[in-house]
Amino acid sequence: MIPTTKDATESRAFRGVHAWRERMREWLSTDVATRSLLVAILLIAAYLRLTHLNWDQGTHIHPDERFLTMVSDALRLPKSLGEFFDSTKSPMSPYNKGYNFFVYGTLPLFIVRVVAEAAHEFNQAAQLWVNEGGAPLNLVGYDGIHLVGRALSGLFDLGCVFLAFVIGRRLYGRQVGLLAAALYAFAVLPLQQSHFYTVDTFGSFFALLAFYFAVRVAQGGEHGRRDGGWESYVGLGASLGASLACRINLAPLAGIAVLAAGIRLWDDWHTAMSLTRENGAAAPRRLQTVWLSTLLQATFFRLLLMGLVTIAAFRIAQPYAFGGTSLLDFSLAPKFRDNMAQISQLIRGDADYPPGHQWASRTPFVFPFVNMVVWGLGLPLGLTAWAGWALAAFQVARGLTGSGGERERGRAGERESGRAGE
């Protein structure tokens, strides 16, 4: 069959498309492409989160936000650190401002109040934000501080977009990191929460930061990973304590920390065993016992360090959960204990109150799952996200329970790659 002019044109077009795809694939594998795409994602995410902050036109229609605005308006900066940590008279304590039932974290309030003070002083001079009468907006008052809170809420959620990229890149590579950042940037629920002055995005940021350090801890035994030591445990403890100072119900994150340490322990143990087998003979049982004991002790002391840092961070960021007049007083404040007991009753349904009616006759687990998948993320992204979790869990289980031969071949490949890169 004699080729026609049409066939030749189609062939050239096909080769052109193929060449373009190859060039695009090469470009996407470069650091410049990664940085460019990440910047583009962050800019779009920032626009979606930091615009239309005055969406309710000063009517304060969000009940939780309105309460936090009232509390933030009442707070005052302390004269000294001693006064700040004096639970009996600190002007930053909601309890000392007449709000005796306060179950939110105080760290977001501290951040917003400090930033609002600085922004207010700047605005008095620059007059960038004015009210309807043309006077500078009072950014530390009831009609202005919630806008500062919304802006910071959006900024902290923008930090979540970046952390999604960092975690995804570390676990699976730069392309997965970019995809994770892009999907989170357009997810519905984070966009909604970014426009509220509530504690949610602050808590999400520190929770993701804790997850990032947990990944570093878990990967510390891998070839080429040199940042899973005590610094990662300190970062994990600090971010965990900060997340608890935003939302106390993020306490289950501690389980992620223990799991990460367990993965690190398992990985280090099997690394040691595979190295002895490579030398031609298995290590004596007594030596194996010594190695295992050493690894267990190291893991215990690292977790102890993480726990101490967590307590210290929570003590600093949620100081009025503790009573007394000194930073060294770790006794829980009676009001805090009573608040936690009361909110626990309300959440369990043991006590009736109007906001709890929306949870009546709801199927446990199914109701939040449907809300998350259908409304919070959208059906395609929601199902894909949970499928991703299932795949990751399968990969972790396969990695931990794989045969010794598979693990040794994997580690041999890692070492060869390391030698090639040295």
At 395 the pLDDT is 83
Task: Write phi, then psi, for 38 (nearest 5 degrees).
Answer: -65, -45
At 3 the pLDDT is 56
Q: Does the pLDDT value for residue 396 go beyond 80?
A: no
Residue of 107, 181, 119, 125 lying closest to 148 (CA atoms):
119
Cα–Cα dist 357/69, whole Å = 25
Token pair belonging to 198: 């509530």
Supply the mean pLDDT for the chain. Answer: 86
pTM for the model stands at 0.86
**Sign for the pseudo-dihedral over CA of 196, 388, 161, 247:** positive
At 226 the pLDDT is 59
At 161 the pLDDT is 98
Q: Is 339 helix (H, G, I), strand (E, B) or coil?
A: helix
**Percent of all residues in the chain with a pLDDT value above 70, rounded to a whole number:** 85
- Find out whether 197 and 150 touch, Cβ atoms under 8 Å: yes
- Find out whether 230 and 302 touch, Cβ atoms under 8 Å: yes
Confidence of residue 8 (pLDDT cuts 50, 70, 90): low
* Residues forming a β-bridge with 332: 322
CB proximity list for 282: less than 8 A, separation 6 or greater: 273, 276
Token pair belonging to 90: 């600190």
DSSP secondary structure, 99-159, as one string: -----S-SHHHHHHHHHHHHHHHHHHHH--SB-TTSSBP-TTSTTTHHHHHHHHHHHHHHH
- Find out whether 336 and 320 touch, Cβ atoms under 8 Å: yes
Q: Is 332 helix (H, G, I), strand (E, B) or coil?
A: strand
Give CA separation, 311 vs 119, 223, 253, 292, in Å. 31, 32, 14, 29
Cα–Cα dist 202/46, whole Å = 16
Token pair belonging to 205: 């940021």
- Find out whether 50 and 201 touch, Cβ atoms under 8 Å: no
* Residues forming a β-bridge with 136: 130
DSSP secondary structure, 188-204, as one string: HHHHHHHTS-SSHHHHH
CA angle at 272 for the pair 267 and 278, rounded to the nearest 5° = 120
At 104 the pLDDT is 95
Q: Does the pLDDT value for residue 184 go beyond 80?
A: yes
Q: Does the pLDDT value for residue 377 go beyond 60?
A: yes
At 55 the pLDDT is 95
- Find out whether 212 and 167 touch, Cβ atoms under 8 Å: yes
What is the per-residue pLDDT across 201-244, written as a single tens digit (0 to 9) for each? 999 999 999 999 999 999 885 544 556 688 999 999 999 999 99
What is the per-residue pLDDT across 9-51, written as a single tens digit (0 to 9) for each? 656 666 666 676 777 777 777 888 999 999 999 999 999 999 9
- Find out whether 400 and 265 touch, Cβ atoms under 8 Å: no
- Find out whether 167 and 180 touch, Cβ atoms under 8 Å: yes
At 335 the pLDDT is 94
What is the per-residue pLDDT across 46-86, written as a single tens digit (0 to 9) for each? 999 999 999 999 999 999 999 999 999 999 999 999 999 99
How many Cβ atoms are within 10 Å of 122's Cβ, its own excluded? 14
At 279 the pLDDT is 60
